[in-house]
């Protein structure tokens, strides 16, 4: 019985990794899909203990399937040809040291800094010397070493939220390689409750509106910087992931800061390539900053 159960479990997990998008209401599964790897040593150990070739073979199949889906994230990335360094950070509206957070982000030397949950002016003062160009729209902001020639609020508000909910902006940054459209967005949080389950309705609605804006973007080179409140495997982000690409290397878990289990903060691009990502040291936020290298 144990032999058959282990084999079935390993094959079932293999199917989940490959066909996760067909699981009804599978957003939570897709957020933690990476961590299914923890079942590999368990299945292998059980297979060895019960001396089942079938269970061992099934466990190895699962390991190969997982490696095929996620193994590339752990390979070293070469970012020698990157043109821009971008930092994304949800700085937290209850951050006890916003000025220190701003200095820490600037010390990593990025060209662009996109922030979410900006509620105080400390960031403007702390970043002014290195980043003379910036725009803040609602609770998201962009700081740049290069001129920002256009900037406006971007409406990605779900239909059932108040009018003062402003978490999106679109800007045009004039880089040495040409103009780049830069979007900074903070999608709504998801909620896990006994009655509603994993509620993603607001986030998904906001993602659809952001996706529509990206589809109508006239500039070829586009960068999205944002706290998207899920991983790129989540089907709720398909309006974005179907148009943009992200780094093929680097795990870079960003949330929660104390013990990160998922990268819900993203830098994605179109007409450009995000060649590497890594998480930066912890600040006063409940997220870790994300540093990305982009080739134009």
137's CB contacts (< 8 A; 6+ apart) are 151, 152, 153, 154, 166, 168, 169, 184
Does residue 203 lie within any of the structural domains?
yes
**Same domain flag for 46 and 115:** no
Domain's final residue, options 45, 74, 103 = 74
Does residue 184 lie within any of the structural domains?
yes
Q: What is the DSSP string of 29-64?
A: HHHTGGGGGGHHHHHHHHHHHHT-HHHHHHHHHHHH
**Same domain flag for 169 and 104:** yes
Q: What is the pTM of this model?
A: 0.93
Does residue 79 lie within any of the structural domains?
no
- What CATH number is associated with residue 115? 3.60.10.10
CA distance 156 to 109: 30
Neighbours of 270 (CB within 10 A): 18
**Same domain flag for 61 and 104:** no
**Same domain flag for 278 and 185:** yes
Q: Are 39 and 60 in contact (CB under 8 A)?
A: no
- Of 144, 127, 126, residue with least CA distance to 135: 144
Domain's final residue, options 44, 74, 104 = 74
- Measure CA 200 to chain center: 16
How many folded domains does the chain comprise? Answer: 2
Residue 185: both structure tokens together: 């967005």
Per-residue pLDDT of the chain (296 residues; tens, 9 = 90+): 777 888 899 999 999 999 988 888 778 888 889 999 999 999 999 889 888 899 899 999 999 999 999 988 888 776 568 999 999 999 999 999 999 999 999 999 999 999 999 988 889 888 999 999 999 999 999 999 999 999 999 999 998 777 789 999 999 999 999 999 999 999 999 877 665 567 899 999 999 999 999 999 999 999 999 999 999 999 999 999 999 999 988 899 999 999 999 999 999 999 999 999 999 999 999 999 999 999 99
Preceding amide of 12 cis, omega within 30: no
**Same domain flag for 67 and 112:** no
Phi, psi of 232 (to 5 degrees): -70, -15
CA distance 51 to 53: 6
**Same domain flag for 64 and 201:** no
Does residue 278 lie within any of the structural domains?
yes
Does residue 14 lie within any of the structural domains?
yes
The β-bridge partners of 175 are 178
Does residue 47 lie within any of the structural domains?
yes
Q: Are 105 and 289 in contact (CB under 8 A)?
A: yes
Residue 236: both structure tokens together: 């709720």
CA distance 287 to 265: 8
Does residue 273 lie within any of the structural domains?
yes
Domain limits for position 8: 2-74
- Measure CA 162 to chain center: 25
**Same domain flag for 251 and 184:** yes
CA distance 89 to 283: 10
Q: Are 246 and 293 in contact (CB under 8 A)?
A: no
Counting Cα atoms < 13 Å in the Cβ hemisphere of 24 gives: 1
Q: Are 266 and 253 in contact (CB under 8 A)?
A: no
**Same domain flag for 239 and 124:** yes
**Which residue matches tokens 């982009």?**
294
SS3 label, residue 282: coil
**Same domain flag for 96 and 70:** no
**Same domain flag for 185 and 103:** yes
Predicted pLDDT of residue 79: 58
Preceding amide of 256 cis, omega within 30: yes
**Same domain flag for 144 and 243:** yes
Q: Which helix (H) or strand (E) holds 152?
A: strand 148-153
Question: How large is the greatest C-alpha to C-alpha distance in the chain, in angstroms?
Answer: 67
Predicted pLDDT of residue 162: 79
| Strand pairing category for 197-199 and 191-193 | antiparallel
Domain's final residue, options 27, 46, 74 = 74
**Same domain flag for 191 and 102:** yes
């Amino acid at each position: 019985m144990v032999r058959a159960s282990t084999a079935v479990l390993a094959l079932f997990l293999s199917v989940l990794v490959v066909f996760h998008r067909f699981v009804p209401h599978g957003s939570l599964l897709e957020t933690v899909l990476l961590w299914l790897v923890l079942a590999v040593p368990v299945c292998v150990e059980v297979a060895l203990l019960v001396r089942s070739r079938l269970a061992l073979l099934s466990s190895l199949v699962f390991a190969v399937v997982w490696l095929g889906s996620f193994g590339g994230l752990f390979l070293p990335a070469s970012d020698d040809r990157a043109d821009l360094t971008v930092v994304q950070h949800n700085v937290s509206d209850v951050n006890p040291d916003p000025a220190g957070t701003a200095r820490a982000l600037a010390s990593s030397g990025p060209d662009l800094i996109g922030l979410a949950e900006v509620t105080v002016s400390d960031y403007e003062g702390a970043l002014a010397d290195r980043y003379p160009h910036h725009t803040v729209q609602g609770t998201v902001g962009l700081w740049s070493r290069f001129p920002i020639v256009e900037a406006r609020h971007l409406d990605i508000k779900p239909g059932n939220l108040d009018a003062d909910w402003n978490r999106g902006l679109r800007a045009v940054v004039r880089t040495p390689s040409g103009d780049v459209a830069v979007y900074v967005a903070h999608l709504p949080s998801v909620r896990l409750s006994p009655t509603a389950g994993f509620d993603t309705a607001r986030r998904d609605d906001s993602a659809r509106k952001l996706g529509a804006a990206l589809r109508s973007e006239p500039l070829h080179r586009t960068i999205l910087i944002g706290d998207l409140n899920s991983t790129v495997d989540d089907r709720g982000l398909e309006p974005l992931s179907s148009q943009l690409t992200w780094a093929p290397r680097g795990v870079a878990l960003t949330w929660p800061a104390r013990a990160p289990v998922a990268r819900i903060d993203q830098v994605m691009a179109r007409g450009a390539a995000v060649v590497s990502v890594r998480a930066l040291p912890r600040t006063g936020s409940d997220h870790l900053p994300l540093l990305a290298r982009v080739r134009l």
